[in-house]
Amino acid sequence: MKEFKKFYVWGMNAKFYMGIYFAALVFLSGLVTAISGGDSLKLIHLLQMLLLAMVVALAQVLLLEGKRTYNSKEMAWRSGLWVAGAAGATVICALAFGWMEGLGGWCPYLLGLFMTFGCCAMLIGLKFERDADTVHLERELETYKKSGGK
């Protein structure tokens, strides 16, 4: 049962991140399309964006949320690898699948740049979350010590 709980939480985290990345990809693609005079996104492109969001989220969970704690250098290396991979995959997919055909050759690179900023913002948010968890755990430990371990 313990392993199932771990897997369930892992899956929920991956799904949460996937939803964020999918919404961001669709929003930014839609915004660029609308600015460029387009009026819709193709269903096949939405499905491709969903798959990309799944890959980016799974990579994040596998690289950054392991069972062990990483030192600062290793975490920076893993974070950089994840951000570069996510941005690169976004540009490659946008170019390969023609997500922004006819909108100018710079649009896939702009989407990759926005993905880079989004991933960096996610890393900052995760750091803030870890810091808040640390403060919470320290308060709980202090309360436990004051109560005499009861």
Token pair, residue 14, equals 């991956």
Q: What is the pLDDT of residues 30-59, one digit of tens each?
A: 888 888 787 889 999 999 999 999 999 999
In contact, 111 and 32? CB cutoff 8 Å: yes
Residue for token digits 């939803």?
A: 19
DSSP string, 102-137: TS-TTHHHHHHHHHHHHHHHHHHHHHHHHHHHHHHH
Answer for the pair 119, 112: CB distance below 8 angstroms, yes or no.
Answer: no
**Neighbour tally for 53: CB within 10 Å:** 22
Please report, as a single letter, which amino acid is at residue 63: L
The three-state secondary structure class of 67 is: coil
pTM over 0.95: no
Rounded Cα–Cα distance for residues 103 and 28 (Å): 13
pLDDT tens by residue, 68-112: 677 889 889 999 999 999 999 999 999 999 888 766 778 889 889
- Two tokens, residue 44: 């096949």
